[in-house]
Amino acid sequence: MSQISDDSQQQDLNNFLRDIVNEHRASRRWKIGFRIIYLLLLLLIIALILNTRSNSNANSEHVAVVNLRGIILDGQHTSARYINKGLENAFQNAHSKAVILYINSGGGSPVQSSTVYDKILALRKKFPNKKIYAVCGDACASGAYYIASATDQIYANRSSVVGSIGVLMNGFGFVDTIHKLGMERRLLTAGSNKGFLDPFSPLVPSEVAHAKQMMNSLHKQFIKDVKHGRGDRLRQQTPELFSGLVWSGEHAYTLGLIDGFGDLDSVATDIIKVENTEDYTYYGDFLQRVSQNVSNQTILNLANFFGITQRGLY
C-alpha cells in the first residue's frame, strides 16, 4: 500500500514538474513571439523614417534638391553612384520644375567628379526643358567645382570658397627617419617602377617626372571640361584662373566662375520661381541606410532590450 502511495506521489510530482516545464515553454514562446513582433514594428518605424519623403511636394510642382556634402569618394554617399542616382530621380519626376545641386565640398576623387560631370551633361541633354542649378555653401572647390561647372548656372555666397581648378598628389617621405632609427629599407619589386614614389625610398627623378606628366594630363582635362561647361561666362581665362587658387564668391563672380549670389531658398524662389522643394538625395537602400546611420552600440542596446544574444533569443 505504501509502495502504491509512493508511486502515486512520484507520478503527481512528475506531472506537476511537466506542467511547470510546459507552462514555462509556452510562456517563453509567447515572450519570444512578442519580442519578435516588437522588433518588426521597430524596424517598420525605422523604415518609414528613413524611406518616406514628404508627399506634400513630390506630387505637385517643386524644385528637386540633391545634396553633395563632404569629400567626393567612391563607396560613400558622395560617390558618383549615389549622386547620379539622386540626380536621375530628380530629373525624371514630372513634377520637378528644376533641379538644384547643393554643394558644400572641397573636392575629392577626379574619377568620381568626372563621372558626375558627364552624368549632368547627359541629363541636361535628355531633359532639355529642365534646368539644373549648382548652389555653393561654404566651399565648392576642386572636384566639387568640376561638377558644378556642368550645371546651367552656379550661385554662391559672397564668402563661399570657390575654384581650386588644379590637381593634387601628396604624401610623406620617411627616408631620413628610418635612417635615424637605424632601420634598413628592403624593397623587392618585379618591374623597375613597381615601387613608384615609395615613401621610404629616395625620390627618383624619372618617377617624379612621370607623376607630374600624369597630373598635367588630368589638369588639362579639368580645364577643358570647365571651359566647356562655363563657356563664354569665364570672363578672364588667364593662367592664374586654372592655377589651383581659390577665391571668395565675390571674386569668383568677377572671374565668371559663378553666375550670381544666392542660397538654396533664394535660388528656388527668386530664380526658379517655385517655393516648394523636395529632397532627392540618395543614401542607398534601407539596409545600407540603417547600417550607416545606426551605431554598433545602438544595435547592441536594441538587442539587449529584445533579449537577443549572440546565440539567439532566450
Instruction: Kindly report, residue by residue over 194-224, the tens digit of the pLDDT.
Output: 878 778 777 778 878 888 888 889 889 999 9
Q: Do 19 and 291 meet the contact criterion of CB atoms below 8 Å apart?
A: no
Q: How confident is the model at residue 309 (pLDDT cuts 50, 70, 90)?
A: very low
Which cell goes with 229?
561647361
Give yes or no for residue 263 having a pLDDT over 90. Answer: yes
Fold (CATH) for 55-283 = 2-enoyl-CoA Hydratase; Chain A, domain 1 (3.90.226)
Distances (CA, A) of 242 to 85, 123, 145, 192, 236: 30, 27, 12, 34, 10
Report which of residues 305 and 214 the model is more confident about: 214
**Among candidate residues 82, 73, 71, 84, the one with its CA nearest the CA of residue 119:** 84
**Among candidate residues 197, 175, 201, the one with its CA nearest the CA of residue 187:** 201
Residue 105: strand pairing partners: 140
Helix (H) or strand (E) holding 224: helix 205-230
The dihedral of CA 17, 21, 24, 26: what is its sign? negative
CA gap 200, 184 in Å, rounded:
10
Alpha-carbon 224 to chain mean position: 26
Q: How confident is the model at residue 285 (pLDDT cuts 50, 70, 90)?
A: low
Report for 54-58, 65-69, 215-219, 232-236: range of highest mean pLDDT:
65-69
**Helix (H) and strand (E) counts in the chain:** 11, 10
Give yes or no for residue 55 having a pLDDT over 60. Answer: no
Which cell goes with 301?
542596446
CA gap 183, 198 in Å, rounded:
16
Q: Do 166 and 222 meet the contact criterion of CB atoms below 8 Å apart?
A: yes
Residue extents of the structural domains in the chain:
2-51+289-313, 55-283
